[in-house]
Amino acid sequence: MATVYYEKDADLGLLKGKKIVIFGYGSQGHAHTLNLKDSGLDVSVCLRPESKAIDRAKAAGVNVLTNPDEAARSADVVMIVIPDEDQKKLWDDHIAPNLKKGAALFFAHGFNIHFKRVVPRPDLDCLLIAPKGPGHLVRSQYQSGVGVPCLIAVGQDASGKAKQIGLAYARGIGGARAGVIETTFKEETETDLFGEQSVLCGGVTALIQAGFETLVKAGYQPEVAYFECLHEVKLIVDLIYNGGIANMRYSISNTAEYGDYTRGPRLINETTKKEMAKILEEIQSGKFAKEYIEECESGMPQLKQFRKELSGSLIEKVGDQLRSMMPWLDGSVQKREQHTGEVISPALKTADLVKK
């Protein structure tokens, strides 16, 4: 079992008097910044001069820097929370040449360190603090006096105190109130990629789509198929999230439970598990990372194509229409419009605003 650290193991004093610079004010960046600030630490945010997040950060009373060279030069502690695919360039062009000797370099996900896109100088501490939740939860839990559990990993310990500095940071963002689980950059990166590919994103959406298509092909109405194979996923996931698989099975009907035991393993069978093992191997060997980096470097042609195909698909069209009948649903219409550039009917948007 893993080693878990708590507030009693973490001395916030190690960060007192140090200049912390957070690069990025998105999901994670805003939460780290505001929590560290409320923990009484000296924290600034570095953003691009044209960033829309500047006004938001300033309105929250945050010190905003827009010169990344100067920001890196001034920092004792740097946290990089911009999108993973942009981190190498920011590191190479601005942070690496300017970061002072003996500084501590933090990440919230291990991708760039593990796949050696960022190679920190030997005089730097290098750490991972990865909250196990989205930024809004990291912020809201901190504000209500609790925290979101975090992972900690030490990639490089130049000062001899890297783990202690990492624990202080985890305490500053509230994670040590919940528990800080020790891991490695390798474990965090590989399991994160595997989880999102095989279960959370790839696995779940492929399962939903296959179920939907099977019903529609058999002549059932797409609206009904949508409810059965997509909409109700949340009800089941919430039960699993709150109390585990047994809790979900306790809450569903006996018919559903019997079908679950006897049919589930026919779908997720030895062939599926073999494919999962292959997906894991591609992550471990670096094959996936290489493929993804090439995709990013060539302007994301496949990602754009996949997004286009999905937005024109029956499940999305039916979904748009059905979600407009459920105005309590959260922001999905506008979000998709921003994402795909597609124009969605005003009626849907009005419905979407009702809940605000």
Looking at 69-77, 90-98, 158-166, 186-194, which segment touches Mg ion (CB under 5 A)? 186-194
Residues 45-84, one symbol each (x = binds ligand NDP by CB under 6 A, - = not), give --xx--xxx---------------------------xxxx
Taking the complex as a whole, the smallest distance from the CB of residue 187 to Mg ion amounts, in Å, to 12
- Of 32, 94, 109, 114, the catalytic one is 109
Residues 103-142 within binding reach of ligand NDP (CB under 6 A): 108-109, 130-131, 134-135
Query: Is the distance from CB of 91 to CB of 162 less than 8 angstroms?
Result: no
Q: Counting beta carbons within 10 angstroms of the beta carbon of residue 211, is it exposed (0 to 12), middle (13 to 18) or buried (19 or more)?
A: middle
User: Pick from ligand NDP, Mg ion, none: which does 193 bind, CB < 5 to 8 A by kind?
Assistant: none
Nearer to ligand NDP, 108 or 168 (CB): 108
Closest approach, Cβ 130 to ligand NDP, in A, equals: 5
Q: Give the shortest CB-134-to-ligand NDP separation in angstroms.
A: 4
Q: Is 25 in the site for ligand NDP (CB under 6 A)?
A: yes
CA 58 to chain centre: 24
Cβ pair 141, 174 in contact under 8 A: yes
- Asked if 244 interacts with ligand NDP (CB under 6 A), we say no
By CB under 6 A, is residue 193 in contact with ligand NDP? no
Among 37, 192, 315, 324, binds Mg ion (CB under 5 A): 192
**How far is C-alpha 28 from the geometric centre of its chain's CA atoms?**
8
Residue nearest to ligand NDP (CB): 26
The CA angle 49-53-58, to the nearest 5 degrees, is: 90
Q: Is 321 left (phi over 0), alpha (psi -120 to 50) or beta?
A: alpha
CB of 83 to ligand NDP, least distance (A): 5
| Cβ burial, residue 205 (10 Å; 0-12/13-18/19+) | middle
For tokens 């302007």, what's the residue?
299
Q: Are 20 and 36 in contact (CB under 8 A)?
A: yes
Cβ proximity to ligand NDP, 81 vs 229, nearer residue: 81
Is the CA virtual torsion 248, 251, 254, 259 positive or negative?
Answer: negative
- Nearest-angstrom CA–CA distance, 10 and 31: 19
Q: Is 136 a catalytic residue?
A: no
Which residue minimizes CB distance to Mg ion? 192
Backbone angles phi, psi at 97, to 5 degrees: -70, -15
Report in angstroms how near the CB of residue 200 gets to ligand NDP at its nearest.
12
Residues that bind ligand NDP (CB under 6 A): 24-29, 47-48, 51-53, 81-84, 86, 90, 108-109, 130-131, 134-135
Residues that bind Mg ion (CB under 5 A): 192
Q: Name the residues annotated as catalytic.
A: 109
